[in-house]
Structure 1
Amino acid sequence: MVKNVYLFNNFFKKKIEILNIYILLLVLIDIFCKNLIIKNIKLYKFYYICSYLNFIYLRNYGIIFGFFQNYQNIFLFLIKINITILVILIFIKDNFNQLIYNCLFSGILSNLINRIQYGFIIDFIDLHIYNYHFPVFNIADILICFGVIILIKDIFLNIK
């Protein structure tokens, strides 16, 4: 019995260590890129990369892609709930997809750090086709969208 408890605790300890490394790496990449943008591009100015991509420094007071700009307190509350749910899921679900957890948690955490530090989220990736511009976003938004897409795929594949 004691051996089983030890193996169980050791399994979760290793699982958490690996998750923390991935999450920390993804958050650091996002924060590093956002800091490069803040230091090198003036607010609302764009930097041409290629015919379909610009970098532009925008302050996003809303949620993903700038929607719902005037609901700061609600966002912080919802973010805390999402993080709590993700942490609970990782412990209670044996087959919870680690990629989903890493993407969602690191994206949410990185944007939360921005929101606490600055009161807004730094967006800078401007994808466009000719004159049609997709809403400006950041790496954390990519991680969140990717995590949600994989989560939806997993939900539909597991429905029986």
Structure 2
Amino acid sequence: MADKHTLSFRTSTSIAPWLGISAIVILFDQITKIAIARMFQFGESLTVTSFFNLVLAHNKGAAFSFLASESGWQRYFFTAIGIAAAVFIVHLLRRNAGQRLFCWALALILGGAIGNVIDRTLYGHVIDFLDFHVGAWHWPAFNVADSAICIGAALFIYDELRRVRK
């Protein structure tokens, strides 16, 4: 009987751990954004290394400032996409809660999406502050939520490639 309980615990289909991971991402994302917003003026930059700066930037668009120069409708559009993605991800977590790597990927993406939705709702833009560069060429600034989404996407791709090989 003890083996049966141990087995069911290990293959738990609860989404609580995955929502917990998402909550940690959201918390870390929001704490870092608040700290940067309090320490920096808009556009202010602090050189950390020869290839990395901290900078306070506002992104009214999506990744790589896509649609950032539009009139404002994009705020609601990207907020709606983020909310729809979050609902769909929770659905996927419920259906696949026992698949660890897949759920790690989804949990990171969920936390990142909600972190950026919070910004769009509260401020009308996403707070970005991580600025990597080579010489004078800078990647678009990003944040913890964006990082979680990218890591989650990479895990998702890795998980899918692993499944195809089986």
TM-score strictly above 0.5: yes
Alignment of 1:42-61 (within 5 A): 42-61=41-60
2:90 is the counterpart of 1:87:
yes
1:155 to 131, 155, 160: 160
Q: Distance in 1 between matches of 2:58 and 2:155?
A: 28
Instruction: Verify the 8 A CA contact 2:18 2:104 in the aligned structure 1.
Output: no
* 1:25 partner SS: helix
Structure 1 residue 145 and structure 2 residue 144: aligned?
A: no
Q: Where do residues 25-104 of structure 1 align in structure 2 (5 Å cutoff)? A: 25-69=24-68, 70=70, 71-93=74-96, 94-95=98-99, 97-104=102-109
Gaps of 5+ in 2: 1-7
Q: Distance in 1 between matches of 2:162 and 2:144?
A: 27
1:21 equivalent to 2:20? Answer yes
Amino acid at match of 2:144: I
Q: Secondary structure at the match of 1:51?
A: coil
Number of residue equivalences: 150
**Equivalent-residue separation in structure 2 for 1:85 and 1:20 (angstroms):** 13
Q: 1:100-115 residue pairs with structure 2 within 5 A?
A: 100-115=105-120
Distance 1:48 1:107 in 2: 25
CA distance in 1, matches of 2:153, 2:103: 13
Partner residue of 2:4?
none
Q: Larger deviation: 78-87 or 38-47?
A: 78-87
Instruction: Measure, in 2, the Cα distance between the counterparts of 1:68 and 1:80.
Output: 19
Stretches of structure 1 that go unaligned for 5 or more consecutive residues are 1-6
Aligned AA (2:116): N
